[in-house]
Amino acid sequence: MEEYLAKRQNLIQEDRARRVDQNAVYRSSPDELRADELIRRIRKDEGESIWGKQQLHGSEQLFPGMEFLTSREKIVGTKVYDILSHMPKGGLLHLHLGMVVQVDKVLRMGLKYPAMHVRTSALLTADNLTTVLPIFRALPQDKWTTHASLTDPLYVPDSWVPIQRARKNFSEALGGPEGFDRWVTDWMVINPSEAYGTHNSPDKIWSKFYATSMVSQGLIFFLPLWEEYVREVFLSSLEDGISYTEPRCMFGEKFMIGADGKKNVPHHEWLRVYDRVIASVKTTLRNPSVFLGSKLIYSVVRNLSLEDMEWHLDNCLALKREFPHLIAGFDLVGHEDSLKPLIYYAEPFLRFLEKQKELGVHVPFIFHAGETLGDGSAADMNLYDAILLGTKRIGHGFSLIKHPRLMELCKEQKICVEVCPISNEILRYCGSMPMHPLPALMNQGVHVALCSDDPAVFGNMGLSFDFFQIFVASDIHGLGTLRELVWDSIRYSGLDEDEKGHAFAMLEGQWNTFVKFILDKYSKDTARGQP
Amino acid sequence: MEEYLAKRQNLIQEDRARRVDQNAVYRSSPDELRADELIRRIRKDEGESIWGKQQLHGSEQLFPGMEFLTSREKIVGTKVYDILSHMPKGGLLHLHLGMVVQVDKVLRMGLKYPAMHVRTSALLTADNLTTVLPIFRALPQDKWTTHASLTDPLYVPDSWVPIQRARKNFSEALGGPEGFDRWVTDWMVINPSEAYGTHNSPDKIWSKFYATSMVSQGLIFFLPLWEEYVREVFLSSLEDGISYTEPRCMFGEKFMIGADGKKNVPHHEWLRVYDRVIASVKTTLRNPSVFLGSKLIYSVVRNLSLEDMEWHLDNCLALKREFPHLIAGFDLVGHEDSLKPLIYYAEPFLRFLEKQKELGVHVPFIFHAGETLGDGSAADMNLYDAILLGTKRIGHGFSLIKHPRLMELCKEQKICVEVCPISNEILRYCGSMPMHPLPALMNQGVHVALCSDDPAVFGNMGLSFDFFQIFVASDIHGLGTLRELVWDSIRYSGLDEDEKGHAFAMLEGQWNTFVKFILDKYSKDTARGQP
């Protein structure tokens, strides 16, 4: 029997030897080992006391890693969440810039501007609140209106109403001003009844997802608000221990709406503002060294014509030359299952790579690929093209686990996968966290950066929720796993080598504080539970 | 660009080179290539015309491989199903003997026997039909009762009523005799509203699953009925092109109820009857060569004491020596997440292996393992023990995809995985077929036998439905994949070498007929759809 147990231990080690958190040269400190034991014990305790079989929520069975939208409130009350929310997160590498800030804050920003207007395609009634969405837009002063309300029987569909009036005069029957806020913000998030009820499949939930983006875009796409918004992206990320962000920014529109309400602000002006906000946030922080700045991934929707794609690739190169420190890569976004596959754009992409050589600039592709349940479908095949085109990282790579050779290439070519667990679950690629392929990917030794994707829409603000979901759905992940994920988020970022050097030094300090926090706050706490 | 496309083609081939259906020495015939093209085209056409985004079922989105219990009727009407139902299936290697025959047939068998009685723990009313289940049992003649009905207000809970009377006198308010049939059979199957609504998690749906087994067991565990039942297992399997079955048979009870209603029929008598039915079925078939017989996997529930386990292992060896051609292996069954892990029984299992060497008999373990969503949980860890204990195949292996070294060992040691797609989906290990790990496993080159597990409970009679679900959820699987799965079901079976030789020769003939069937019936049909 002893012999058997020894063989067993060996086999387990062999099987886990490829794991990213096993390969690390890094050796845990005694404090880390104690903290690791602690958080594992707390996870186990809460697995029974909070997520155990006996803990029913109505008729619903609770379990660790269950559907996020129904368990969010419960998560916030756990010790594991408390610990993870104190963890330094490093970088956040997969994030859609227009979907980061809490929707009520965005609405409040919009309400400050007299230029901001709203319209609907029909008179709002109690019956159509969930089918008629608000369209926002900042208008030039000569187009400002004096229409009183969206809910007045005299409202002419598609006519603009000043946002402040629309809110103030929102009919009492629909909840008054608070009803307006509820209506707008409901259109900017995905609700549990949609994700797990009415829209319970990727195709259907994507339709609601597109709607949220249409609503928020009208507010954000207005330079004065955009500047505030970007600042909030950085500040709220810092609040959750995120030192660096690398958001996808949509450059599909050639002009943003300026302070004068005219749609005439060109791309390079967006970048100037972005740069300015980074600098200004640095000056306001008590400890500016924890803020490593931000770079953008130039993104367009994956349905452009070949000519338009060519234009954007050239434009991206031009911006890169003007703002070398701000452009981290190029990507296509949108529903992979229904829009154009990467192979469709192979020729312009190949020319893009050629031109970079000629110009001596480097803008890596950082492609979304394999965000799909398909097996051999066009979206699944995107993984081949992403890798052949030299993608620096893979966005989602949900179907990567199906591809043994591609996983090897990811390891050989140091391609990291940006895994967005909560996004995948809410967009119905998996039913809950225990069904997610992340553990399989990690056991294969593929490097992963954990990301939140669209936190404003999903409610997974920061990164603590995503870390929570993957941590409680595994008995294997420990403190070493978390550390490796955090370090990888810097290793595989678009920061240059100097910046990374600074980042690691800074992280080291933050991490020690974090470990001390766990030991100080929780070692007494669980000692009580011991024999 | 041409260079790019060539590199791309190479990479795709490299990535798929490990697939089981690529490694095969076998070269497809021209007819097979044509048939392959045909079925791929039909799958694509039906993917749009039947499962396309436009095809809504109420508010529900249809898609290929969607939840089986809501799509079963639609599946039956497809051409892909028609084709697959004509496919020879080879062997069915993962099947729980008590859950094979359609429940209405089992009930009809029960109704023939005056000895068969039924009772409930409460008087049945419209309100408790879904919470009070029928308990059946054949009684010795001196215990037969004359109670009239389960629904009579005078019914004394837990008292036996003859099944025929219970049915005849089932209250009109509850539907009369048909209401009785509905009540009983509803308790023997899992309904969509349970799997996808009230019991939508593995832990909860397992509770209903246990109930179905309790109900059917009372009917089946009666030797005269059992004999009929076993015959029906073989005949209904043959009807779907299954030539060989290797069911798990529960030997936990030491005695079955005999024709006299006494619980005194020992295990070796069960085997004698099993043997007799095999022989008798052979004599009734027009073409007996398509029936390759059946062997049993000795099974007990994974919650026995160590002493009881020891007894059963010894008993299994004794039966193997008496019926060497009938005992194919040994296994534990039941919910892995909540019952005892394999490691708990490691000592008796190791002794079992020792004793086999001493006795010169061979009864391989054929363990259920990894039927779980856990990551490093005891059920997930069962995979290590199953392999270390020399398991011949792995039952389910749902979490195997997480274990790179174990997948290699499966290939090195020729361990096949019994994958039960529909069972996994209904028991909520995956939300639908596109979420199933099968394609990932196949791309890693792990050999798979496709199985139906508990078709009476799930409604996936035979194997055509399971083949359908995995075939339509992939753009990669083709006729070669199907062939490989069918051949593997014989290769990895408990048949001896001679029997396998005969089986392959027989299969070859059946397969040619099948390919001819596809070409004859469908080549005209789809030609019409061509330009």
Q: Are B8 and B2 in contact (CB under 8 A)?
A: no
Q: Does B421 touch chain A (CB under 8 A)?
A: no
Q: Which residue has the tokens 């009540």?
A: B183
Instruction: Note the Cα A33 to chain centre separation in Å.
Output: 30
Whole domain around residue B497: which residue ranges? 85-101+212-509
- Distance separating alpha carbons of residues A104 and A111, to the nearest angstrom: 10
- Distance separating alpha carbons of residues A428 and A416, to the nearest angstrom: 23
Tell me, yes or no, whether B184 and B266 share the same domain. no
Flag if A443 and B385 touch (Cβ within 8 Å): no
The two tokens of residue A446 are 């593929």
Domain presence at residue B325 = yes
- What pLDDT is stored for residue A200 in this prediction? 84
**Which 173-212 residues of chain A touch chain B by CB within 8 A?**
198, 200-201, 203-204
Query: CB within 8 A of B466, min separation 6: which ones?
Result: B420, B421, B422, B450, B451, B452, B460
- What pLDDT is stored for residue A27 in this prediction? 85
Minimal C-alpha gap between B178 and chain A (Å)? 30
Among residues B211, B243, B261, the one where a domain terminates is B211
The two tokens of residue B364 are 């391989």
Among residues B156, B177, B211, the one where a domain terminates is B211
Tell me, yes or no, whether B396 and B351 share the same domain. yes
Q: Which one of B12, B18, B476 has the shortest CB-CB distance to A384?
A: B12
Query: CB within 8 A of B472, min separation 6: which ones?
Result: B43, B46, B47, B51, B64, B65, B80, B433
- What pLDDT is stored for residue B530 in this prediction? 44
pLDDT digits (tens, 9 = 90+) for A378-424: 999 999 999 999 999 999 999 999 999 999 999 999 999 999 999 99
Give the Cβ contact number of residue B28 at 10 Å. 16
Minimum Cα–Cα distance from B433: chain A residue: A373
Flag if B406 and A4 touch (Cβ within 8 Å): no
- Distance separating alpha carbons of residues B60 and B58, to the nearest angstrom: 5
pLDDT (tens place) for every residue of chain B, 531 residues total: 899 999 999 999 999 999 988 866 678 999 999 999 999 999 999 999 999 866 655 556 789 999 999 999 999 999 999 999 999 999 999 999 999 999 999 999 999 999 999 999 999 999 999 999 999 999 999 999 999 899 999 999 999 999 999 999 999 999 999 999 999 999 999 999 999 988 888 888 988 999 999 999 999 999 999 999 999 999 999 999 999 999 999 999 999 999 999 999 999 999 999 999 999 999 999 999 999 999 999 999 999 999 999 999 999 999 999 999 999 999 999 999 999 999 999 999 999 999 999 999 999 999 999 999 999 999 999 999 999 999 999 999 999 999 999 999 999 999 999 999 999 999 999 999 999 999 999 999 999 999 999 999 999 999 999 999 999 999 999 999 999 999 999 999 999 999 999 999 999 999 999 999 999 999 976 544 443
pLDDT digits (tens, 9 = 90+) for A140-179: 999 999 998 999 999 999 999 999 999 999 999 999 999 9
Minimum Cα–Cα distance from A2: chain B residue: B347
- Distance separating alpha carbons of residues A505 and B269, to the nearest angstrom: 74
Which of B523, B431, B411 is CA-nearest to residue B473? B431
Flag if B430 and A435 touch (Cβ within 8 Å): yes
Provide the number of structural domains found in chain A.
1
Flag if B403 and A443 touch (Cβ within 8 Å): yes
DSSP B358-383: HHT----B-EEE--SS-SSSHHHHHH
- Run of H or E residues at A332: strand A327-333
Per-position b or e across B248-287, b if 16+ CB within 10 A of its CB: bbbbeeeebbbeebeeebebeebbebbeebbeebeeeeee
Rounded percentage of chain A residues whose pLDDT exceeds 90: 92
- What pLDDT is stored for residue B27 in this prediction? 85
Q: Does A347 touch chain B (CB under 8 A)?
A: yes
For residue A434, the chain B residues in CB contact (below 8 A) are 373-375
Q: Does A431 touch chain B (CB under 8 A)?
A: yes
Minimal C-alpha gap between A376 and chain B (Å)? 5
- What pLDDT is stored for residue B197 in this prediction? 87
Tell me, yes or no, whether B124 and B248 share the same domain. no
- Distance separating alpha carbons of residues B136 and B494, to the nearest angstrom: 33
For residue B402, the chain A residues in CB contact (below 8 A) are 439-440, 443
Among residues B178, B211, B244, the one where a domain terminates is B211
Flag if B384 and A15 touch (Cβ within 8 Å): yes
Give the Cβ contact number of residue B415 at 10 Å. 23
Which of A252, A189, A182 is CA-nearest to residue A221? A252
Q: What is the 3-state secondary structure (H, E, C) of A135-181?
A: EEEECCHHHCCCCCCCCCCCCCCCCCEEHHHHHHCCCHHHCHHHHHH
For residue A445, the chain B residues in CB contact (below 8 A) are 404
Q: Interior CA angle at A238 toward A234 and A239, to 5°?
A: 120
Tell me, yes or no, whether B169 and B318 share the same domain. no
Domain presence at residue A66 = no
Q: Which one of B201, B380, B385 has the shortest CB-CB distance to A63?
A: B201
A57 beta partners:
A60
- pLDDT category of residue A56 using cuts at 50, 70 and 90: low
Tell me, yes or no, whether B177 and B311 share the same domain. no
- Distance separating alpha carbons of residues A103 and A101, to the nearest angstrom: 6
Flag if A198 and B404 touch (Cβ within 8 Å): no
Tell me, yes or no, whether B203 and B276 share the same domain. no
DSSP A464-480: HHHHHHHHHT-SS--HH
Tell me, yes or no, whether B409 and B323 share the same domain. yes
- Distance separating alpha carbons of residues A18 and A26, to the nearest angstrom: 15
Domain presence at residue A459 = yes
A152 beta partners:
none
Instruction: Note the Cα A86 to chain centre separation in Å.
Output: 19
Domain presence at residue B27 = no
pLDDT digits (tens, 9 = 90+) for A220-264: 999 999 999 999 999 999 999 999 999 999 999 999 999 999 999
For residue B201, the chain A residues in CB contact (below 8 A) are 61, 63
- What pLDDT is stored for residue B201 in this prediction? 85
Minimum Cα–Cα distance from A17: chain B residue: B405
Domain presence at residue A308 = yes
- Distance separating alpha carbons of residues B313 and B336, to the nearest angstrom: 20
**Which 373-402 residues of chain B touch chain A by CB within 8 A?**
373-377, 380-381, 384-385, 387-388, 401-402
For residue A4, the chain B residues in CB contact (below 8 A) are 346, 350, 388
- Distance separating alpha carbons of residues A163 and A156, to the nearest angstrom: 16
- Distance separating alpha carbons of residues B152 and B10, to the nearest angstrom: 73
For residue A473, the chain B residues in CB contact (below 8 A) are 375
DSSP, collapsed to helix, strand or coil, labels residue A109 as: helix
Farthest-apart Cα atoms in chain B, separation: 86
Q: Which of A2, A11, A12, A381 should one mutate to test binding to chain B, selecting the residue with the greatest count of B CBs within 10 A? A: A11
Domain presence at residue A190 = no
DSSP, collapsed to helix, strand or coil, labels residue A63 as: coil
**Which 219-278 residues of chain A touch chain B by CB within 8 A?**
none
Q: Does A9 touch chain B (CB under 8 A)?
A: no
For residue A200, the chain B residues in CB contact (below 8 A) are 61
- Distance separating alpha carbons of residues A65 and B374, to the nearest angstrom: 11
Domain presence at residue B189 = yes
Query: Where does residue B1 rank: exposed (0-12), middle (13-18), buried (19+ CB within 10 A)?
Result: exposed
Q: Residue B353 maps to which CATH number?
A: 3.20.20.140
Q: Are A395 and A366 in contact (CB under 8 A)?
A: yes
Q: Interior CA angle at A440 toward B490 and A52, to 5°?
A: 100
- What pLDDT is stored for residue B103 in this prediction? 97
- Distance separating alpha carbons of residues A129 and A135, to the nearest angstrom: 13
CA distances in angstroms from A223 to A99, A117, A264, A318, listed in the order given: 16, 15, 10, 21
Flag if B18 and A435 touch (Cβ within 8 Å): no
Tell me, yes or no, whether B299 and B157 share the same domain. no
Q: Are A8 and A488 in contact (CB under 8 A)?
A: no
Flag if B61 and A405 touch (Cβ within 8 Å): no
Minimal C-alpha gap between B400 and chain A (Å)? 9
Assess whether pLDDT exceeds 50 at residue A529. Answer: no
- Average per-residue pLDDT in chain A? 95
- Run of H or E residues at A271: helix A267-284
Instruction: Note the Cα A67 to chain centre separation in Å.
Output: 17
Chain A to chain B Cβ contacts (< 8 Å)? 139
For residue B377, the chain A residues in CB contact (below 8 A) are 475
For residue B61, the chain A residues in CB contact (below 8 A) are 200-201, 203-204
pLDDT digits (tens, 9 = 90+) for B77-88: 999 999 999 999
pLDDT digits (tens, 9 = 90+) for B208-237: 999 999 999 999 999 999 999 999 999 999
Q: Does B406 touch chain A (CB under 8 A)?
A: yes
**Which 37-76 residues of chain B touch chain A by CB within 8 A?**
53, 59, 61, 63
- Run of H or E residues at A484: helix A479-491
Tell me, yes or no, whether B137 and B199 share the same domain. yes
Assess whether pLDDT exceeds 80 at residue A58. Answer: no
* Residue B510 backbone dihedrals phi, psi, to 5 degrees: -60, -40
- What pLDDT is stored for residue A122 in this prediction? 96
- What pLDDT is stored for residue A220 in this prediction? 97
Assess whether pLDDT exceeds 60 at residue A472. Answer: yes
Minimum Cα–Cα distance from B351: chain A residue: A1
Tell me, yes or no, whether B335 and B196 share the same domain. no
| H helix intervals, B50-129 | 68-76, 79-85, 103-111
Local structure of residue B155 (DSSP, 8 states): P
Domain presence at residue A69 = no
